[in-house]
Chain A
Amino acid sequence: GAGVSQTPSNKVTEKGKYVELRCDPISGHTALYWYRQSLGQGPEFLIYFQGTGAADDSGLPNDRFFAVRPEGSVSTLKIQRTERGDSAVYLCASSLMQATGELFFGEGSRLTVL
Chain B
Amino acid sequence: GENVEQHPSTLSVQEGDSAVIKCTYSDSASNYFPWYKQELGKGPQLIIDIRSNVGEKKDQRIAVTLNKTAKHFSLHITETQPEDSAVYFCAAGAGFKTIFGAGTRLFVKA
Interface residue ranges, A against B (CB under 8 Å): 4, 31, 33, 40-45, 48, 55-56, 91, 93, 95, 98-103, 105-108
Contact = CB atoms under 8 A, between A and B. Distances in A.
B92 to A, nearest CB: 11
Given A4-B43, A93-B43, A103 B102 contact: no
14 contacts: A31-B95, A31-B96, A41-B103, A42-B4, A42-B91, A42-B100, A45-B98, A45-B99, A98-B95, A99-B95, A100-B94, A101-B49, A101-B95, A103-B34
B42 interface: yes
Contacts of A103: 34, 44, 46, 95, 98
A91 B101 contact: no
A107 B38 CA distance: 10
